[in-house]
Structure 1
Amino acid sequence: MNVRTLGFITFAGAPAMLVVGFLEGFQRTLNTDTTLASATGYLVFAVGWLASVLALRALYATGRSPAGRIMVSLPLLTIPLAAMQSVLDMFFPQLIDRHFLYIVTDIAWPLSMVLSFGVGIAALFARELPGWKRAVPLLCGAGLPTGILTHLLLGEQAAGVIFPVQVALSWTLLGLVLVSLAPRHATPQFRAAH
């Protein structure tokens, strides 16, 4: 799949967390109360999130060194686990909060966010993306720290609104950036590298 297509998938999945926020009244919802619509929204977001990481990896956004390649590859392991939580919510609700696999998938969400923050920092310092665009992955990765800080300073209600808005806006911008960075006609070198 090319970077342009991955960018469109990122763009399409970006508002899903905000939609889930609307559906849940921007209130904290327990895993046991996850609805089919919310689980679907989380899954759609996770697919877009995974597409964004694949595109950043293809663009060498975190650099060409082994450390940079490892950094951008780690979320490719955790995001599918996070997405699996939605599948479990949809089809195996009896496992919620009881089965080891469900607990692992639940932990994968914040872990993936932390790793995305690391990817954002690496992309900023790697300087592979042009100009201001290298800061956009960090905006995406800042979702969890922003949510925690908002919760501490303004409370759970404010965090319940600000987090999904920030996530939707930053991943929408990342999708647009990825589409804009994708070569229209890949050179043989680009095809071979990706």
Structure 2
Amino acid sequence: MLQVETWDYDNRRIHLSLDTVSAGVDFAAAYLEERAYREASGEDVRGKRPMMRGNGREPKGGGRFTPQFVTFLEGARPVPYNASHTLTLLTEPIADDGSVSGTGIIDRSTLSPGVEVNVEIGYQQVEIITVPIGSGLTAEQANQLALILPMAKQLGLVSGISALHSVTGIVVSDGDGSTIITDNNDGTYTVAPANQ
């Protein structure tokens, strides 16, 4: 299944194929398509910078790997097929400047009037927990963290944990905003919007 219909290097746009309307878009496959296209095109794309870089699939041991993601380079953006549909992203897309990722990277500005494309995430949303406390956790801190994280999952707030403010407070992003969960050290937790 082809992911890309046309490559517009001058405008840094990747126009997705009709196949993506029903099957979603796998940006890892699109990255491989770009590599093959550039190799086959030779002089046609010489001097033009690639629009994507594939990342991920780093070994974690035991036959496990990190998730794949694709970085869009130097302002490159994917454009959905020009028909109303819901586009499912099967691989996480990220801009190389960190300005956008996920559904925000899709450029709908050149679609015909009346064409509506909704974008949904079909990949696993995984983020890294950052622990800014130096050389590592104490046993007590590790125990506190072990209590907080399952509680956040039970509340249904976790789509990705973006930062650990302290061992007793975490920020949970649900896509519509952030929530701070604090361990009150008495067996209870406080849950509040992060902007308060």
TM-score category, normalised to shorter length: under 0.3
Q: TM-score w.r.t. structure 1 length? A: 0.24
Q: Which has the higher contact order (CA 8 A, sep 6+)?
A: 1
Q: TM-score w.r.t. structure 2 length? A: 0.24
